[in-house]
Amino acid sequence: MPALLLGRRACRGIAVLTYLIRRLLWLVPVLGVISAVTFFLMHSVPGNPFDQEDKPLPPEVIARLEAHYHLDEPVWRQYLRYMGGALRGDLGPSYLSKDRSVNDIIARHFPVSFVLGTLSLGVAVVIGIPLGIVSALRQNTVADYVSMFMAVSGVSVPALTLGPLLMWGLALQLGLLPVARWGSWQQAVMPAFTLGIGQAAILARLTRASMLQVIREDYVRTARAKGVSERRVIVHHALRNALIPVVTVLGPLFAALVTGSMVVEQIFAIPGLGDFYVGSVGDRDYPVIMGTTLLYTAVLVIANLAVDLAYSWIDPRIRLEAT
């Protein structure tokens, strides 16, 4: 019906839009449940954030602090109060850094994690995909074995191993790069590689498997048969199709990189949000824990959504279906 009135292109536009809206609406229950689980879990621990073992505060001071932050109310009311604020874009104050709100903390530290995650994704894509393609095109040759051995090794070398090794080799022995901290591009090189290599290995294996499948397809044989140059067959006919499954993992991969940068942030003393989260959980800085969790969940869901959209754009055969 609408196709008659609007034409095909507009119809498709509307389909994408409704899909987008439905998927974004799914964010509401997800964030609701996850925020509730997090909130009640962290409040289930006895005691309060102002307990200090070495320098205990007088009980009156603790009572005043609790009253100030509404910690003396029932937990469900605190939760509603928090969510009310969060919906209006106010994630509350930080208990520990008293002059900063959670909004300030996220605005300052999240971009660092985001940039680090993006750079690592770049490393993963630039190394992983070509490695997978070469490996597939030279299947069962030395090049293939070497690339796949590198890929399995890459998966097996965690950031906890690679970080100190790079730091020792490149910074301390050779003096090529600064040892740690964040600010200049030189300081970003080692963290980005530490975080990206493992994901590059995953991408390489996936690209290889997908490419091997695609180059056996009929349309690739047809393209060769009609005399298309080998280069064009690979780039235009095979690669475009082989990359579809690869693109689907980029979303979760990116989310994993942004939310999983805690190790690297700790090793290289980078002031990212992950590092902040670890500290805030230990110190029971409730609003910071909540804010970070909600933000990371949203990143995860939106990254997956972006991939699904890209997916239908690369491969028009795939229809968007809201689930």
Q: Which residues bind other proteins (CB under 8 A)?
A: 29-30, 33-34, 37-38, 41-42, 44-47, 152-153, 155-158, 160-162, 164-165, 167-168, 172, 179, 208-209, 212, 255, 259-260, 262-263, 266-267, 277-278, 281-282, 284, 289, 292-293, 296-297, 300-301
**Tokens 């730091």 map to which residue?**
167
CB of 110 to other proteins, least distance (A): 13
Considering beta carbons, is residue 47 or 227 the nearer one to other proteins?
A: 47
Q: Would you call 123 exposed, middle or buried from its count of C-beta atoms within 10 A (0-12, 13-18, 19+)?
A: buried
CB of 282 to other proteins, least distance (A): 7
CB of 173 to other proteins, least distance (A): 9
Nearest to 106 by CA among 298, 278, 276: 276
Considering beta carbons, is residue 3 or 33 the nearer one to other proteins?
A: 33
What is residue 207's three-state secondary structure?
helix
Considering beta carbons, is residue 1 or 162 the nearer one to other proteins?
A: 162
Q: Would you call 162 exposed, middle or buried from its count of C-beta atoms within 10 A (0-12, 13-18, 19+)?
A: buried
Considering beta carbons, is residue 47 or 316 the nearer one to other proteins?
A: 47
Give one DSSP letter per residue of 286-301, joined into a string: HHHHHHHHHHHHHHHH
Instruction: In whole angstroms, give the CA distance from residue 108 to residue 92.
Output: 15
Instruction: In whole angstroms, give the CA distance from residue 148 to residue 201.
Output: 8
CB of 7 to other proteins, least distance (A): 36
CB of 246 to other proteins, least distance (A): 15
Considering beta carbons, is residue 11 or 143 the nearer one to other proteins?
A: 143
Pair 275, 262: CB distance under 8 Å: yes
Instruction: In whole angstroms, give the CA distance from residue 199 to residue 155.
Output: 7
Amino acid at 20: L
Considering beta carbons, is residue 10 or 37 the nearer one to other proteins?
A: 37
Pair 277, 262: CB distance under 8 Å: yes
Considering beta carbons, is residue 237 or 284 the nearer one to other proteins?
A: 284
CB of 259 to other proteins, least distance (A): 5
Query: b/e map of 82-96 (b: 16 or more CB within 10 Å)?
Result: bbeebeeeebbbbbe
What is residue 58's three-state secondary structure?
coil
What is residue 234's three-state secondary structure?
helix
**Tokens 């940039």 map to which residue?**
115
What is residue 101's three-state secondary structure?
strand
Considering beta carbons, is residue 9 or 323 the nearer one to other proteins?
A: 323
Considering beta carbons, is residue 6 or 172 the nearer one to other proteins?
A: 172
Q: What DSSP character marks residue 183?
A: S
**Tokens 């090049």 map to which residue?**
143
As given in the structure block, the two tokens for residue 103 are: 């909004």
CB of 298 to other proteins, least distance (A): 9
